[in-house]
Amino acid sequence: MDNFLKKGERIEDLGLKELKIIQNPDFFCFGMDAVLLSWFVARRTRGALHMIDLGTGTGIIPLLLYGKTTAASITGLEIQAPLVEMARRSMALNGLSAQIKIIEGDIKDPGSEILPNYYDVVVSNPPYMRAKAGLKNNCETKTVSRHEVLCNIEDILIFSKRMLKDRGRLFLVHRPERLGDIISLMRTYRIEVKHLQFVYPSIKKEANLVLIEARKSGNPGLKTDAPLIVYNEEGQYTREIYDIYGMTPPE
Amino acid sequence: MDNFLKKGERIEDLGLKELKIIQNPDFFCFGMDAVLLSWFVARRTRGALHMIDLGTGTGIIPLLLYGKTTAASITGLEIQAPLVEMARRSMALNGLSAQIKIIEGDIKDPGSEILPNYYDVVVSNPPYMRAKAGLKNNCETKTVSRHEVLCNIEDILIFSKRMLKDRGRLFLVHRPERLGDIISLMRTYRIEVKHLQFVYPSIKKEANLVLIEARKSGNPGLKTDAPLIVYNEEGQYTREIYDIYGMTPPE
């Protein structure tokens, strides 16, 4: 498999239907948020849906959605050429180049390959931080992945409003501190939040992630699912996290 | 103490500094939401603040705030005359008629006793249900306490915008399903949600209440506190709920 790899890259086994992904520690590597988001989408959808992942990076979410859902089509959109190239190699490595399309493009100006009112599901694990907030990572690829330099919440909503079918759904993972921005902006675009699930590092700690499901032209009214707790009081992953990762907890 | 009571009424001991409250099962009796909200306010504030409770009902929240905070003044505003009368008797029963003022009035048209830009804290455990949603209770007092007949979220925000000091805070308890309405309306009034705490009946269940802290002229950015779980897996109150009620858990 080494002919799939460039210098500094490694192959990670996803522990799901023998799927593998190429990662490069010099870029932004996928984290638990991508895994939780894919699990959340899989749990909340069924059937032969058309799905697109915005800012797909190395393609982790399309691969996990392929493994966990019965989607009719899965597309990943990514603006950064080195990541597009890497994601495409990961798809080839899995023999999934036909099943998962990786498109190079800007969500603010998507090309003609992306059709309006076509998608049932838009997914995104977007940059969490405002463009001007916090320290920026020197490496440009990591900066773009973490900060709203090339893509912010409003860009995702504009894209979703245009590309989702009526009543289609947008799934996001984000930091709870941005929830005020997200919910109020969504309403502006008539995309209504329908489900929230907060992720707490432990039962005694503040939430550090929130999983969001919203519906184009949805009515007000949302449910907040049972809390997702990452570590138990002994500092080990909870049963639920082991389940989500498809791993067996130690006896 | 029976001379304080009318037919059908009873006195409940609040288990806090010997405070007592008159309740009437024919009206809306206070629930865990009022207790959790008072605890949340007490935990999130300090000092000699001016506090007002909107739709105070039988006066439970002013009494609990009196017991749990060092507020400079506590006012309860209530539109329903029979509840105002009952709340005033509860204050007299506790010898607190001077310390806690119960005002009869409409939050949409508060009288001159309520001063603009005066309050540090506005608190409310408002009706949860939209005026047209769900079955209405036949008893008018209960209907008004449960449904947005005389007071809705926007009325509370308009009141808060006017009566809070700049940077003053609004504390609410509400159903999570209304969170989209609440957060987006708040932003319209430049009252920004700053803290959320979700209350889950058990660790495996959807949240059924949310405690909300918002700030007049606040900046975007919120924290989601550790989950508040009501029952443990054995179906008993959790340690935290016992603490909030000031009770000792059984050995």
Tell me: pLDDT of B136 over 70: no
The pLDDT of residue A2 is: 58
Q: At what angle do helices A179-188 and A153-163 cross, to 10 degrees?
A: 40
DSSP codes joined into one string, B17-46: TT-EEEE-TTSPPP-HHHHHHHHHHHHH--
Residues in Cβ contact with A28 at an 8 Å cutoff, skipping those fewer than 6 apart: A57, A141, A142, A145, A146
The pLDDT of residue B133 is: 54
Tell me: pLDDT of A219 over 60: yes
- Contact assignment for A187 to B179 by CB distance below 8 Å: no
Confidence of residue A25 (pLDDT cuts 50, 70, 90): confident
Q: Which among B104, B119, B196 has a CA at the least distance from the CA of B160?
A: B119
Q: How far apart are CA B80 and CA B188, in angstroms?
A: 29
Chain B residue nearest residue A222, CA to CA: B177
- Contact assignment for B176 to A224 by CB distance below 8 Å: yes
- Contact assignment for A203 to B203 by CB distance below 8 Å: yes
pLDDT mean across residues, chain A: 92
Q: Is B139 a member of any domain?
A: yes
Confidence of residue A149 (pLDDT cuts 50, 70, 90): confident
Residues of A in contact with B203 (CB under 8 A): 203, 226-227, 229
Which of A178, A184, A196 is closest, CB to CB, to B184? A184
Q: Which long-range contacts (CB under 8 A, 24 or more apart) does B79-85 make?
A: B79/B55, B79/B104, B79/B105, B79/B106, B79/B107, B79/B144, B79/B150, B79/B151, B80/B141, B80/B144, B82/B27, B82/B141, B83/B27, B83/B56, B83/B57, B83/B58, B83/B141
- Contact call for residues B195 and B223 (beta carbons, < 8 A): yes
Q: Assess A192–B contact: CB distance below 8 Å, yes or no.
A: yes
- Contact assignment for B204 to A220 by CB distance below 8 Å: no
- Find which of A130, A173, A184, A202 to mutate to test the B interface (most B CBs within 10 Å of its CB): A184
Q: Is B251 a member of any domain?
A: no
The pLDDT of residue A163 is: 98
Q: Is A250 a member of any domain?
A: no
Tell me: pLDDT of A3 over 80: no
Report the pLDDT averaged over residues B207-234.
96
Q: Assess B129–A contact: CB distance below 8 Å, yes or no.
A: no
Confidence of residue B125 (pLDDT cuts 50, 70, 90): very high
- Contact assignment for B196 to A179 by CB distance below 8 Å: yes
- Contact assignment for A206 to B223 by CB distance below 8 Å: yes
**How near does any CA of chain B get to the CA of A176, in Å?**
6
Q: Is B159 a member of any domain?
A: yes
Q: Is B250 a member of any domain?
A: no
Per-residue tokens: A74 = 């899965």
Which of B187, B204, B221 is closest, CB to CB, to A226? B204
**How near does any CA of chain A get to the CA of B119, in Å?**
24
Residues of B in contact with A229 (CB under 8 A): 203, 227
Segments forming the whole domain that contains residue A27: 2-245
- Contact call for residues A165 and A119 (beta carbons, < 8 A): yes
Q: Is A83 a member of any domain?
A: yes
Q: How far apart are CA A65 and CA A84, in angstroms?
A: 18
Domains in chain B: how many in total?
A: 1
The 10s digit of each residue's pLDDT in B74-101 is 999 999 999 999 999 999 999 999 999 9
- Phi, psi dihedral angles at A60 (to 5 degrees): -60, -45
- Contact assignment for A180 to B193 by CB distance below 8 Å: yes
Q: Assess A222–B contact: CB distance below 8 Å, yes or no.
A: yes
Looking up tokens 């590092």 gives A201
The pTM assigned to this predicted structure is 0.92
Q: Is A48 a member of any domain?
A: yes
Pairing of strands B10-13, B20-23: antiparallel
Q: The domain spanning residue B71 has which CATH number? A: 3.40.50.150
Q: Is B71 a member of any domain?
A: yes
The pLDDT of residue A132 is: 64
B143 or A37, higher pLDDT: A37
- Contact call for residues B121 and B159 (beta carbons, < 8 A): no
Q: How far apart are CA B16 and CA B22, in angstroms?
A: 15
Count Cβ atoms within 10 A of the Cβ of residue A123 and give its class: 0-12 exposed, 13-18 middle, 19 or more buried.
buried
Q: Which among B23, B9, B4, B16 has a CA at the least distance from the CA of B145?
A: B23
Enter the ipTM. 0.89
